[in-house]
C-alpha cells in the first residue's frame, strides 16, 4: 500500500488557507494569514525538515504511523468522541448508550444552528481546545 506523502510547506499553507476562508470573517482571516506567513519564515522550515527526517526514518512505512498509533491505538476511550479534533463538547449527559448518542446529536444540531445563524465563534481562551 502506498504511504501518505509528506506535503510541501507551500501545499500545506495553501490548503490551510483554502479551508479557513469559509469559516472565518475577513479580519480573522487576515490575522491568520499574517500569523501563517510569520510562521512560514520562522519555525516552519525547521519543523518541515524534522518531518522529512521522520519520513526518511519511517520508510517504507508512513511518517504518520507513530502519531496515528499513539492517538488511535493507545486511546481506550470512544474514538469518535475522544479523537475528534474538530470540536469539543462539554458532556453533561450520562455517558452510556442511547443517552450519549442523543446528547451528541443534539450538540451537533446546536453547533449547526449556531453556524447557520452566524453565531459561531472560536473558543480562544479554552486550554483544552487546540488552535494549531
**52, 91: one domain:** no
**39, 82: one domain:** no
Specify the pLDDT at position 36.
96
**5, 66: one domain:** yes
Q: What percent of the chain has a predicted confidence (pLDDT) above 70?
A: 74
Specify the pLDDT at position 89.
58
When mean pLDDT is compared across 84-88, 96-100, 113-117, the lowest value belongs to: 84-88
On the question of pLDDT at 45 being above 90, the answer is yes
Say how many domains are in the chain. Answer: 2
**93, 68: one domain:** no
Specify the pLDDT at position 10.
94
Distance between CA atoms of residues 116 and 132, nearest Å? 24
Distance between CA atoms of residues 19 and 35, nearest Å? 16
Of 51, 74, 97, the residue at which a domain comes to its end is 74
Specify the pLDDT at position 85.
57
Confidence of residue 50 (pLDDT cuts 50, 70, 90): very high
* Spatial CA neighbour of 88 closest among 125, 119, 128, 131: 128
Specify the pLDDT at position 100.
75
Q: What percent of the chain has a predicted confidence (pLDDT) above 90?
A: 30
Answer whether 0.75 is exceeded by the pTM: no
**104, 70: one domain:** no
* Residue-wise burial string across 23-38, b where 16 or more C-beta atoms lie within 10 A, e elsewhere: eeeeeeeeebeeeeee
Q: Which domain holds residue 94?
A: 78-132
pLDDT digits (tens, 9 = 90+) for 68-96: 788 777 777 776 666 655 555 566 656 66
Amino acid at each position: 500500500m502506498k504511504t501518505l506523502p509528506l506535503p510541501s510547506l507551500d501545499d500545506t499553507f495553501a490548503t490551510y488557507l483554502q479551508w479557513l476562508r469559509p469559516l472565518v470573517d475577513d479580519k480573522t482571516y487576515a490575522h491568520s494569514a499574517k500569523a501563517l506567513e510569520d510562521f512560514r519564515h520562522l519555525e516552519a522550515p525547521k519543523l518541515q525538515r524534522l518531518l522529512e527526517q521522520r519520513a526518511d526514518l519511517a520508510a517504507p512505512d508512513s511518517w504518520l504511523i507513530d502519531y496515528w498509533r499513539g492517538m488511535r491505538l493507545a486511546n481506550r476511550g470512544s474514538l469518535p468522541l475522544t479523537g475528534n479534533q474538530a470540536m469539543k463538547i462539554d458532556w453533561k449527559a450520562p455517558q452510556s448508550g442511547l443517552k450519549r448518542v442523543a446528547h451528541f446529536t443534539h450538540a451537533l444540531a446546536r453547533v449547526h444552528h449556531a453556524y447557520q445563524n452566524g453565531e459561531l465563534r472560536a473558543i480562544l481562551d479554552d486550554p483544552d481546545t487546540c488552535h494549531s
